[in-house]
Structure 1
Amino acid sequence: MSEEFLISAKPDLQKARADWLASLKEERRLARLTLEAYERDTRQFLQFLTGHCGGAPGLSDIAEMRPADLRAFLAARRADGAGARTLGRGLAGIRSLLRFLERKGLANAAGAGALRAPRAPKGLPKPLTAADARRVASGEGQLAEEPWIAARNAAVLALLYGSGLRIGEALGLKGADIPAMRSGSLRVTGKGSKVRIVPVLPVVAEAVAEYQRLCPYPLGNDAPLFRGARGGQLQPAIIQREMRKMRSALNLPDTATPHALRHSFATHLLGRGGDLRAIQELLGHASLSTTQVYTAVDTSRLLEIYEKAHPRA
């Protein structure tokens, strides 16, 4: 984890925090985005403590952290506009840091454990309709001027909907993954370095093959599969920007995002009788409860159809 930011803490706490971040990366193997969020959240916490304690905090200042101190931090973050999900994640990072220090005999994590996280509103995933998802995944409505870039975008979107990949998983593929896609399956490394096998439909493999044919850059085994305009690894922001353009061109709702294609993958499988456990494995969810949210999506859609169609509704 990069330490390019100035940390408001004494050297002993800076070192302990760096050791904690290293353990999250090397031992717990947390996803890169989660690590970045924990680094940012704890950095903001230490900046708050600098004002709260009247100076840069050290290990002695957080050794007996009280719930009141943490509540003051959460209140300050809320005043800055942070929502319940952000506050909950921030509290989770602080708890993790304090538990790490407690195991080393440097702090007491009981105060953080006694504090309840802010309750985030429960929202259901918002998938696209099957027709709209097919239009997006086929590349319809693209405005890319260069054919190879249009083919690249279509291949990425086809993988998101056809195989249920996260955008980071799709953009993390290498040239060595092309033969596997031709054979109809793909090994994907997801969150927490969890490996799963996902199917690759013939239409998805064809989209990747068309991109490979048009791509002006060599797609070596160890090189990124999806390239930016200058040949570097394609960044998620490029696909997200392209999706915003397609929303306008295809008259799609604002909820039509790259991640909505993954939601659509799960919801449409479930609606066609897919087994919930199988969908859990395909999505790479650690817990079945995470996958079960799609049953609520499917039920709400059925009720919506019922209310519109039933003569007595």
Structure 2
Amino acid sequence: MTIRPPLSQAFDNWLGWLRHEKKASPHTIEAYERDVRDFLEFISGYIGGIVELEDLENLRLADFRAYLAQRRQGGLTASSLRRVLSSIRSFYKRQERDGYLHNPYLKTLRSPRSGARLPRPLNAADTRELLQKATTATEPLWVRHRDTAVLTLLYGCGLRIGEALSLNFDDRPVSHTLTLIGKGNKERMVPVLPVVIEAVEAYVCECPFPLDSKSPLFIGRQGRRLNARAIQLKMQNLRRNMNLPETATPHALRHSFATHLLAGGSDLRSIQELLGHASLSSTQRYTDLDVEKLLEVYDSSHPKS
């Protein structure tokens, strides 16, 4: 075993590894960092002292389970618990690779299971109304155009919110296609509707901050790259005004993109490419959604139901 560095140094090295070698997205890095910090805080209270790498090596299966149980009691869903466990494993994996610790128990810990949840898209009418209300909200004109442009990108191109907000000015859609780097550092090309280009250009014309080739496309009120939280809050206000369910999130617009394409006759392989799914099984959830809606109609209208 090599000489162990302080935990803080090992932690920073891990974050650098995620950022520069693994090319993880800023959203992933933020979530992983938050998860591991919370885990280390729990372990500090668990052992009653300052945590070092040696303490992490000596943890047993019951210790990891105790942490996950505490997070579950705090209201975390099974899917969130799986991400937490993935964060911790990533940190341990880097430390083991550097020869700082070895803990066989973490590898035997099973991920929490849950039933696969179907996407919850908006219907076409609600989507159109939501985009219209975003344009006519009460914020300053440039903010309204900015938020409308982001939401139109999510729905019109099926982007993840992190993909939309990571675009720089030179990456903005100006033609009928848009090339971007998505999850897993995968490049994909998506078609761009004229309404998407118009929404982005309307925002660019009103943006009070200078935009050059390397600047972020979408700017927050402080002049820095727009944070996803601003768009999440915008959707929260819109869904309250429209009496939409809590599932009406920015990501629901990506679900709506896929669902409406499927309903319009697009094949699953094409939708898989447009969404940037690594596996077709992820895209097949939208077929399950169509079946679910069909059964709902059957149950409500068939005379023998």
TM-score by length of 1: 0.86
Residue 190 in 1 paired to residue 177 in 2? Answer: no
Q: How does 1:55-204 map onto structure 2 within 5 Å?
A: 55-139=49-133, 142-178=136-172, 181-204=173-196
Q: Find the residue that maps to 1:197 and give its secondary structure.
A: strand
What is the distance in 2 between the residues matched to 1:229 and 1:189?
Answer: 26
Aligned residue number for residue 202 of structure 2: 210
What is the distance in 1 between the residues matched to 2:238 and 2:70?
Answer: 39
Aligned residue number for residue 267 of structure 2: 275
Pick aligned residue for 1:47 from 41, 47, 58:
41
What is the distance in 2 between the residues matched to 1:166 and 1:57?
Answer: 36
Q: Describe the shift of the 1:91–1:149 C-alpha distance in structure 2 as closer, same or farther (beyond 3 A).
A: closer
CA contact (8 A) 1:141 1:246 kept: no
Letter in 2 for 1:14: S
Residue 265 in 1 paired to residue 257 in 2? Answer: yes
How far residue 308 of structure 1 moved from its aligned partner, in angstroms, is 3.0
Pick aligned residue for 1:222 from 210, 214, 227:
214
How far residue 175 of structure 1 moved from its aligned partner, in angstroms, is 2.0
Aligned residue number for residue 233 of structure 1: 225
How far residue 185 of structure 1 moved from its aligned partner, in angstroms, is 0.9
Q: Decide which moves more: 95-104 or 275-284.
A: 95-104
What is the distance in 2 between the residues matched to 1:52 and 1:253?
Answer: 39
What is the distance in 1 between the residues matched to 2:161 and 2:253?
Answer: 10
Q: Where do 5+ consecutive residues of structure 2 fail to align?
A: none
Q: How many residues are treated as equivalent by the alignment?
A: 302
CA contact (8 A) 1:130 1:268 kept: yes
TM-align CA RMSD: 2.4
CA contact (8 A) 1:164 1:261 kept: yes
What is the distance in 2 between the residues matched to 1:154 and 1:41?
Answer: 32
How far residue 299 of structure 1 moved from its aligned partner, in angstroms, is 1.4
Aligned residue number for residue 8 of structure 2: 14
How far residue 105 of structure 1 moved from its aligned partner, in angstroms, is 3.4
Q: Decide which moves more: 271-280 or 139-148.
A: 139-148
How far residue 300 of structure 1 moved from its aligned partner, in angstroms, is 0.9
Q: Where do 5+ consecutive residues of structure 1 fail to align?
A: 1-9
CA contact (8 A) 1:137 1:157 kept: yes
Identity across the alignment (%): 50
CA contact (8 A) 1:137 1:161 kept: no
Aligned residue number for residue 239 of structure 2: 247
